Amino acid sequence: MIVNWLISNGRKGREGLRTKSSSTTTLNNNNNFRSKMKKEKNLNWNRSLFVTTQATPNPDSLKFIPGERVLTGENNSPTTLDFPSARTAHGSPLAKSLFKIDGVKGVFFGSDFVTITKDRNTGWNQVRSSIFAAIGDFYESGKPILSGELPPQDTQIQPHDSEIVQMIKEILETKVRPAVQEDGGDIVYKGFEDGIVLLQMQGSCSGCPSSSVTLKNGIEKMLMHWIPEVNGVIAVDDEELEKVNMEAFSKVEEKIEKKGEDNKE
């Protein structure tokens, strides 16, 4: 079509446009056309990665699907990664690039998607195009998704886990996480204290209005049904986890001091 158009216009230029001014007009038109085609070619090249978006239950979180693998899960690598702040993004060039965009509050990686959580005072129309560009530029660069130390994967069953903890992790891994990840988020095991399961909400689940309903009506009922030792489930953030860890550390110190006093007696 383009070739025929050029030939047709070229013939008209030779046969009917003999004046200098007409020739100049035709030349300018052809130059403008070539310039337009060059710009369109460059645009398609820069946008060769077709990124789509998908809404989540959280209005401040949006799934960006690049049509390429994000996390492979191969060689014991994670299948999801949460970066709740720019401070935690040091191990991922893509996450660091996304946090440079004003208004981006959190970044979450799934197997084939990236969930972005924005500041509530920022509209999606203010950051969407910048996020598209950052993801496209990253994949064009050929850099690895991960290049540094990774956050620990707390949902993996460890040899020192008790039978109850192993059962909790198994249910979370097989029944809960796959469904939650479909909505661009994740739920990670963080502890089991006095019959209470501590979970951390990640990605679109963090700060989502419906997450508390999911936690109580879905996850809590499921765990309490299959594991009698579970009395409840609560969501914790990093500050609350630090408090729990400090309390656990204090209990250990008390036991050590008490054991030392008993040995002296």
The model's pLDDT over 30-59, given as tens digits with 9 standing for 90+, comes to 555 444 444 333 333 344 678 999 999 899
Residues of the chain with pLDDT > 90, as a percent, come to: 35
d(CA 18, CA 8): 16
User: pLDDT grade, residue 7 (50/70/90)?
Assistant: very low
Residue 251 has pLDDT above 50, yes or no: no
User: pLDDT grade, residue 208 (50/70/90)?
Assistant: confident
8 A C-beta contact, residue 174 and residue 189: no
Distance of alpha carbon 22 from the chain centroid: 57
Per-residue pLDDT, 120: 92
Average pLDDT for residues 197-206, to the nearest whole number?
84
Per-residue pLDDT, 249: 39
Position with higher pLDDT, 91 vs 2: 91
Per-residue pLDDT, 37: 41
User: pLDDT grade, residue 230 (50/70/90)?
Assistant: very high
153 burial type by CB count under 10 A (0-12 exposed, 13-18 middle, 19+ buried): middle
Average pLDDT for residues 204-210, to the nearest whole number?
73
d(CA 224, CA 229): 7
Per-residue pLDDT, 85: 86
Per-residue pLDDT, 21: 41
Per-residue pLDDT, 205: 78
Per-residue pLDDT, 180: 83
Residue 258 has pLDDT above 60, yes or no: no
For residue 185, the surrounding DSSP H or E stretch is strand 185-193
d(CA 243, CA 206): 19
Q: What is the mean pLDDT of the chain?
A: 75
For residue 93, the surrounding DSSP H or E stretch is helix 93-99
Average pLDDT for residues 199-221, to the nearest whole number?
79
- In this structure, of 10-14, 64-68, 151-155, the range with the lowest mean pLDDT score is 10-14
d(CA 83, CA 69): 18
Residue 198 has pLDDT above 50, yes or no: yes
Position with higher pLDDT, 234 vs 10: 234
State which amino acid sits at residue 39. Answer: K
Residue 26 has pLDDT above 60, yes or no: no
8 A C-beta contact, residue 115 and residue 203: yes
Residue 67 has pLDDT above 80, yes or no: yes
Instruction: Quick: pLDDT tens for 71-128.
Output: 987 777 788 888 988 888 888 999 999 999 999 999 999 999 999 999 999 999 999 9
